[in-house]
Structure 1
Amino acid sequence: MNLFDTHTHLDASQFDEDREEVIQRAYDSGVTRMVNVGFNRETIPSTMELAETYDFIYAAVGWHPQDAITMKEGDLEWIASLCSHDKVVAIGEIGLDYYWDTSPKEIQHEVFRKQIGLARELKMPIVIHNRDAHEDTIRILREEKASEIGGIMHSFSGSWDTAKMALDMGFHLSFGGPVTFKNAKQPKEVLAQVPIDRLLIETDSPYLTPHPFRGKRNESAHVRLVAEAAAEIRGMSVEELVEITTKNALERFDIQ
């Protein structure tokens, strides 16, 4: 297997006791590349440390909408400076989160727009976090001309209509553990229709653990379970789906 986990948080505290073992287990399971996502003042440095320690771990850096209220003057410049690092492959995760009431919507919007602007300036793809904010996410992406850079709709949970609007702007759609859930009808329906060259897989570990480990800590090795579910939904072999999604990720992140 040549699996690519396009979104993980291996620097999370849930891995403090066995991080090296978790990373080795993923590699031994056929996960040859991962993108670890740093999304605030605490996780960006630890993400960079992982990317610099492991050849097969890359970094995305940005400011999460839940943490938008904590962004200070100078943080955008910090993110910009990190984007020149050869292991940083995207700005993210950025976007909107209307589920958790941790940052006012207007501040989320402002921080989101600033980071799209930075990504356009640097010609970097963006990784989008969108929770219960489909309409505003698409609107802001359009208004800020995100189609010029494209990116990834991480852990996509929207309808096919939302998916089509994102695809029209050049985005890839990434799917994780929920596509293995018995009652997750909508993500399965969307995954079945996404153009195969725009499809990606991820874990979002330690979150969104796939079946049959749901309820336990997720880890990057479990991206194989996502691949198996996605292959079944698409009516293709796991090997073919892995080959295509890895190729898509390498192209999207411009990894040689």
Structure 2
Amino acid sequence: MMKVFDAHCHLQDPRILSKTPQLIKAAQDTGVVNFAVNGVCEQDWGSVKQLSIAFPSVLPSFGLHPWYVADRSPNWFKKLKEYFDSTPSAAVGEIGLDKGSHGKKIDFSEQVEVLRQQLELAKELNKPASVHCVRAYGDLLELMKSMGPFPAGVILHSYLGSAEMVPEFSKLGAYFSFSGFIMSLKANKAKKMLRMVSSDRILLETDAPDALPKSNINSLFFVEGDTSVAEEIHGQRTTSSSTPDSSLANSSQVVTDALMLPKETLNHPANIHNVLEYVACMLEITKEELAELSYQNAVRLFSYEGSKLLQK
């Protein structure tokens, strides 16, 4: 069985937290070995820490996501540093910049300052940082240039930036992580960008419970109890079954792909295989080759001092 490493997800998300043990088990049964679980705000860092204690496969990350910058407490940074002091296995994330529909409601200069503080902390701790970026890649590149390079690595999570920026980010120590969101790009743009990424800088992720891949429904896993999924679909892929249901694939009663599912449909961490297949196709290499190189890249990146990967 191929080994796969989910380089960025949110198994602490309130929408799925109660189901996390089953989701981890189902994903592990398909070959997912590790889950880099990223906190996003002061309120969920504790849940991330608890998951990392309960599950050897969970690698914790703590960070303040740009969407939560306006809600941060006066002592947020002190609290963040205390989490790293008490959890040596943790990386930094999710942090970043956002000029999208949600992010533009939050003062951008504050986003930049909060990101700068957390990138400085990542450098000080010699840990990788997982970075969210929406419509702000130019700003992110300039900030990283002013601070870099980042020898411990910066993960550009769910990367959707231009092909032209890939070499610039790479020089600064960036890795490029791809989720189901890459399927929203035009195929020729996705292919051009992916081919600019060096094979030693590519990672795969789910961003679960978000970023459901736009794949045929019979190839997807669904989160048990997800009320956005129609009854005739629900249950077909909620278990650890690794083979598509042929009766579902042939049913004219069922929608044929995830484009027709409600946008709030939850993403299952086992769906990293759909991302793997799509990216391998774009790169014209086998799934096995991509699984191996992305797994080795993630292991190398997450093998910092104190990491769980070094404790095995």
Scaled by the length of structure 2, what TM-score is found? 0.77
Q: What is the CA-CA distance between 1:144 and the residue it aligns to?
A: 2.1
* CA contact 2:180–2:214 (8 Å) conserved in 1: yes
Q: What is the CA-CA distance between 1:146 and the residue it aligns to?
A: 4.6
Deviation digits for residues 136-192 of structure 1, max 9, x if unmatched? Answer: 111111112253443110000100122221111111100010334573543332112
Distance 1:122 1:192, change over 3 A: same
Larger Rg: 2
* CA contact 2:11–2:17 (8 Å) conserved in 1: no
Paired residues in the alignment total 255
Q: What is the CA-CA distance between 1:128 and the residue it aligns to?
A: 0.9
Q: Could you tell me which amino acid in structure 2 is paired with residue 83 of structure 1?
A: F
Matched, 1:239 2:288: yes
Counterpart of 2:179 (choices 176, 179, 188) is 176
* CA contact 2:3–2:33 (8 Å) conserved in 1: yes
Q: Distance in 1 between matches of 2:51 and 2:17?
A: 13
Distance 1:62 1:182, change over 3 A: closer
* CA contact 2:39–2:63 (8 Å) conserved in 1: yes
Deviation digits for residues 174-230 of structure 1, max 9, x if unmatched? Answer: 001033457354333211221101000001011111122534311110001111111
Report the equivalent of 2:241: none
Q: Distance in 2 between matches of 1:253 and 1:106?
A: 30
Report the equivalent of 1:5: 6
Structure with bigger strand share is 1
SS in 2 for 1:223: helix
Report the equivalent of 2:89: 87
Taking the TM superposition and a 5 Å limit, the aligned residue runs for 1:73-112 are 73-84=74-85, 85-88=87-90, 90-99=91-100, 100=102, 101-112=104-115
Deviation digits for residues 210-251 of structure 1, max 9, x if unmatched? Answer: 122534311110001111111112222111211110110011
* CA contact 1:158–1:187 (8 Å) conserved in 2: no
Report the equivalent of 1:129: 132
Deviation digits for residues 89-123 of structure 1, max 9, x if unmatched? Answer: x2111110111134201110110111111112111
Q: What is the CA-CA distance between 1:19 and the residue it aligns to?
A: 2.5
Report the equivalent of 2:157: 154
* CA contact 2:166–2:196 (8 Å) conserved in 1: no
For the aligned residues, what is the CA RMSD?
1.7
SS in 2 for 1:35: strand
Report the equivalent of 2:58: 57
Taking the TM superposition and a 5 Å limit, the aligned residue runs for 1:217-236 are 217-236=266-285
Tell me whether 194-203 or 135-144 shows the greater mean CA deviation.
135-144
Distance 1:102 1:195, change over 3 A: same
* CA contact 2:137–2:161 (8 Å) conserved in 1: yes
Unaligned runs of at least 5 residues, structure 1: none
* CA contact 1:178–1:184 (8 Å) conserved in 2: no
Report the equivalent of 2:31: 30
Report the equivalent of 2:204: 201
Q: What is the CA-CA distance between 1:24 and the residue it aligns to?
A: 1.2
Q: What is the CA-CA distance between 1:46 and the residue it aligns to?
A: 0.9
Identity of aligned residues (%): 28
Deviation digits for residues 45-81 of structure 1, max 9, x if unmatched? Answer: 1111111110001111110011112223322122222
Matched, 1:251 2:307: no
Taking the TM superposition and a 5 Å limit, the aligned residue runs for 1:115-126 are 115-126=118-129
Q: Distance in 2 between matches of 1:16 and 1:64?
A: 19
* CA contact 2:183–2:213 (8 Å) conserved in 1: yes
Q: Could you tell me which amino acid in structure 2 is paired with residue 195 of structure 1?
A: S
Scaled by the length of structure 1, what TM-score is found? 0.93
Counterpart of 2:213 (choices 210, 226, 237) is 210
